[in-house]
Amino acid sequence: MKSLFSIFKDTYNSFENKEAGEEVLILIRRHPFFIILQLVLFMVLFLLPLILGIFFSPFLLFNNLVGISLLLYSLWCLILWQMMFYLITMYALDVWIVTDRRIIDSTQHGFFNRSISELHLSRIQDISVKTDGLIQTFFKFGDLEIQTAGTENKFKFLQIPRPNNVKNQIMSHISSNIHSTDKPYGNPV
């Protein structure tokens, strides 16, 4: 059981249910483009009532509506703050971890709802990368899809930075482990 103060000593290489001797190779989050784009939208939504208030200030002053408009603006800012907090939390907690043994997909669906899936590297059959459009090409992000052996669903890393590099790191780790031993990588299924 972890202590309360373990959050201060956990590192990039720490996560819940880490196996003994397991080494983190890559920790991946969505590309920062998406969080920045949404934060810019929140800034526009924050400033829009202020700009409208400047244009309508004579009307608000004449009808003694300054107090009510400040109250409504405060409620608007509170709602925006909560939405921004939710957005940042979801961005920080949605993570893909690639270790020397497995891939872990930790997806946060709400403040109190998380799903965690894992895939052992020995089950990987194919990895494909998809980059669509000018924005994804320019900012170097895209989707990575891992096909597994059997009837399992595909593992999808959506909107990750440099998906080709991630694919190459996973494939080189798998191939180096296959070539370093005479038997197939991982535990036989």
Sign of the alpha-carbon torsion through 121, 162, 87, 12: positive
Average pLDDT over residues 55-80: 87
Is the pLDDT confidence value at 12 over 60?
no
Torsion-angle region of residue 150: left (phi > 0), alpha (psi -120 to 50) or beta?
left
Average pLDDT, the chain: 82
**Sequence-ordered list of residues with C-beta below 8 angstroms from that of 125, at least 6 positions apart, any chain:** 147, 148, 149
Average pLDDT over residues 125-149: 90
* pTM for this prediction: 0.74
Select the more confidently predicted residue: 8 or 63.
63
Alpha-carbon distance of 104 to 161, in angstroms, equals 17
Select the more confidently predicted residue: 2 or 66.
66
Average pLDDT over residues 81-94: 91
For 31, counting Cβ atoms within 10 Å of its Cβ (0-12 exposed, 13-18 middle, 19+ buried), the class is buried
